[in-house]
Structure 1
Amino acid sequence: MITSAVLHAKHFKLLVVGGGAGGLGIASKFTRKLPSGSLGIIEPLEDHYYQPGFTLVGGGLMTLDSNRKKQVNLIPKGATWIQDKVETFNPSQNTVVLRGGEEISYEYMVIAMGIHLRFDMIKGAVEALETPGVCSNYSPFHVQKHYQEVMNFQKGNAIYTFPNTPIKCAGAPQKACYITDSILRQRGVRDKAHMIYATSLSKIFGVDHYVKALEKVAQEKTIEVKTKRNLIEVVTNNKKAIFELLGDDSKPTGVTEEIEFSLLHISPPCTAPEPLRSSHFADKTGFMDVDPQTLQSKNYPNVFGVGDCMNTPNAKTAASVSTHLKTVDTNLTQVMQGARPFMKYDGYASCPLVVSTNRVILAEFSPNEILETTPLNQSKPSYWAFLMKRYILPVLYWKGLIKGHWNGPSTIRNFSRLLKTK
């Protein structure tokens, strides 16, 4: 909803584009610093989802409703919610144009538009998702279908895919595969399933530290791992998934492979949102071009980025947002005061890899190093990490992250490292 305040006040000290985890988190931080009404947040959707919970929803371990809240109840007090969508960025004039035609100006802006699911980039996938046997934990409209399909599965190939593009939560396709294995065993039909994890990567996971542990999980569960495979088409009438085989450079080799399926879980290609891709903020990949340490736009110093929409080298996870918020909170405040940004984002990301219905490998890392929080062996599947994934992290998200109170686990990690050295 565009409130009456916006109709008369089309200029904001700070404009936040996007009402996901990053947008709400940064808005919450700055509404505590700026005068009431001087911050606007643009977000078209009425429902806000705790997306890290989708893996558990698809596994029947949580409900979709428990991972959904109304956006109107999450907008921080003092901020103005503009329930619309940005169509055009005009950074040279410090304005954006909304879908409804309204122009909004700003003094400073944070872009937190997230990443878009592109099922349309796979031929036949959009239509296939509406047919039996095809599902995806990535979409709130299909995540419950995954659990239904797993519970109805009788025999055949169960295929889980990983695309040849950037993707949010790169561990999610594996999580869905492992949970499915557990459910099929509980149902007594696992021996009738040939489970396949088909990834575009050259290995099972992008972070070497966790590769051996995950290879062991796949081996113990008799899951066939097919590397350098990219899903390009779904043929619904005879239930075939068509993959292109990739070379070492991740480019197509011209060779394809057809695999019949009874169950197909599609992890979609992802891109930056179209208005961002076509803007002066984007690099050649379409993602927001920022300094990877300060998260400041390389070309427009009054604009910062948060979350998955940026071209930073970190994995695109909700956990990354916590440290993004800490960095932008400090650096944007510096810029507002006429100083240079100095806080450096450490590249932190986390992926709680659910390997069964009650065990998790808690992966924490940056592009350059492992950043585990606890003194325990987090590469070992554990029940305590599952309890954290299931019960603690959702509360941390709703009560901490989007409220601007959680800046990541660096303080806990530093204390943990002291314990390790003693």
Structure 2
Amino acid sequence: MSEQVQSRIISADIVVIGGGTAGIAFVASLLKREPNLSITVIEPRDKHYYQPAWTLVGAGIHDLRSTMRPMASVMPRQALWLQTAVSHVDPENHLLTLDDGRSVGYQYLIVCPGLRLAWEKIEGLQETLGQHGVTSNYSYKHAGYTWQLVKSLSGGKAIFTQPGMPIKCAGAPQKALYLSCDHWRRHGTLKHLDVEFNLAGAALFGVADFVPALMKYIEKYRAQLVFNSQLVKIDGPSQTAWFAVKDAAGAVMLQAKKFDFLHVVPPQVALDFIRESSLANADGWCEVHPYSLQHVRYPNVFGLGDVCSTDNAKTAAAVRKQVVVVAENVLALRKQQPFPRQYDGYGACPLTVQKGKVILAEFGYAGKLLPTFPLEPTVARRLGWYLKASFLPWFYWNGMLKGREWLARTSKVE
């Protein structure tokens, strides 16, 4: 092998794909346990975002600029950061191919690149997003536009959408609806608006225990629910959206709807280099054991965060618990010891049903309720609002990304 070829191959111990919430929190937690570990992080972006606050930005409650920091400021100093992307994964040979032509060989691989927002799956969306009343809180660039539209709208048709699962933060589409409607109600304009929530699925929320409480707010805001309705096309200049609507018999028809305000949540998929690799399951997600988060076919590979095949809610709260499991299980594997921790599917969705009140939905696999506090979990409370609007953003930057694991302990393997 020539010296030039050898120089393009990097040998690494622990490699982390992704510098988002899961990647940075994992590296920080692992280094808290063993500061001398050799860790390589592969992340192409130069910015890091606190995405859960974009819902609040869209309601005029949070400063957009505070949700972004330079990647260099959150990357643990002990880690080697390769600022490029992965183009191919070869788990049989423990090898990654990077966009810049280099290859990285690894002993242990942590897969946490997040997912991809597939804006292109809705015809016309990319051309009109950010104008003609079309917006999305799922975009850093457009969350502020949501607030501009909300505060200026005084009448007409307001449509909110939710695509098929899985998506990150499955409660975010309706959070946008609740906070917008609450603003319109407080300013006396809600009575002049026709509000509609189009969901690709057949239920308002995936955990049935929370549906009755949420329905009270749907009724309070006079919002019409349209189930089995998937947004497929937008014409911005004419302010028309087309939905594929499935009836009780399973037949699908295309329905056009005029709008003055349209909040879009895009379909979401795994990144191509995961989908096209042997790490993926049939749906393209990194296929891991639901409790250990170890890959089902490659023992030296673990998954974290939104890329995982597990059926937990794809939220930062889920990552907070998963990080502990993977950190301790990876260290155990290195020492050829049994796994000490298991993940119970925990996820949390602070449902901002109005300004100042949140239903703190915390649940695990099979919809099991897992409340942190000894309070009735389906009741909207100011405590939840304080957590969502104040404490959690602070803790994200100052705690979670620095390896502090408050309230993040998980079950021990018995």
User: TM-score with structure 2 length normalisation?
Assistant: 0.94
1:266 counterpart residue number: 264
* CA distance in structure 2 between the partners assigned to 1:134 and 1:232 by the alignment: 14
In structure 1, stretches of 5+ residues that fail to align are 1-6, 414-422
Contact 1:323 1:407 in 2 (8 A): no
Instruction: After TM superposition, list the pairs within 5 Å mapping 1:344-355 onto structure 2.
Output: 344-355=342-353
Distance 1:14 1:219 in 2: 51
Q: 1:6-50 CA deviation, whole Å, 9 max, x = no partner?
A: x79822110000001110011112234556572110111111111
Could you list the runs of 5+ residues in structure 2 that have no partner in the other structure? 1-6
Q: 1:259 to 1:360 in 2, by over 3 A?
A: same
Displacement after TM superposition at 1:329 (Å): 1.1
> Relative to structure 1, is the Cα distance of residues 79 and 165 closer, same or farther in structure 2, using a 3 angstrom cutoff?
same
**3-state SS in 1 of match to 2:354:** coil
Counterpart for residue 416 of structure 1 = none
How far does the alpha carbon of each residue in 1:182-231 deviate from its partner, in whole angstroms, 9 at most, with x for none? Answer: 22223332221111111112121111010000011100111111111111
- The equivalent residue for 1:303 is 301
Question: What's the RMSD between the two structures over aligned residues?
Answer: 1.9
CA contact (8 A) 2:162 2:264 kept: yes
Q: Name 2:246's counterpart in structure 1.
A: 246
Q: Secondary structure at the match of 1:173?
A: helix
Partner amino acid for 2:272? E
Corresponding residue of 2:39? 39
Deviations 1:323-368, CA, capped at 9 Å, x for gaps: 1111101111111112233421100000000011111110000122
SS in 2 for 1:372: coil
Query: Is the alpha carbon distance of 1:96 and 1:248 closer, same or farther for their aligned partners in structure 2, counting shifts above 3 Å?
Result: farther
CA distance in 2, matches of 1:11, 1:92: 16
| Structure 1 residue 121, shift from structure 2 partner | 0.6
Distance 1:215 1:26 in 2: 37
Greater shift after overlay, 23-32 or 51-60?
Answer: 23-32
After superposition, residues 139-288 of structure 1 pair within 5 angstroms as 139-246=139-246, 253-288=251-286
CA, structure 1 residues 91+253, in 2 after alignment: closer, same or farther (shift >3 Å)? same
Q: Count how many residue pairs are aligned between Structure 1 and Structure 2.
A: 405
CA displacement 1:295-328 (0-9 Å, x = unmatched): 0011110010100100001011110001111110
State the alpha-carbon separation in 1 of the partners of residues 18 and 248 from structure 2: 36
Q: TM-score, normalised by structure 1?
A: 0.92
Q: 2 CA distance for matches of 1:361 and 1:403?
A: 28
Report the Cα distance in structure 1 between the residues aligned to 2:217 and 2:186, rounded to whole angstroms. 17
Cα 1:8–1:96 shift into 2, 3 Å: closer
Shift of 1:375: 1.4
Letter in 2 for 1:344: Q
Task: Please state how far the C-alpha of 1:410 moved relative to its aligned partner.
Answer: 5.3
For the residues of structure 1 that align with 2:399 and 2:388, how far apart are their CA atoms? 15
**Per-residue deviation, 1:407:** 5.8
Residue equivalent to 2:57: 57
Identity %: 33
Partner amino acid for 2:182? Answer: S
Cα 1:247–1:79, aligned 2, differ >3 Å: closer, same or farther? Answer: farther
Residue pair 2:9, 2:103 contacting (<8 A) in 1 also:
no
Choose 195-204 or 16-25, whichever is displaced more.
Answer: 195-204
Give the letter for the 1:255 counterpart. M
SS of the equivalent of 1:340 reads coil
User: How many Å separate the matches in 2 of 1:8 and 1:286?
Assistant: 29
Amino acid at match of 1:58: G
Aligned residue in 1 for 2:3: none
- Secondary structure in 2 matching 1:150: helix
Q: Find the aligned partners of 1:338 and 1:229 in 2 and give their Cα distance.
A: 50
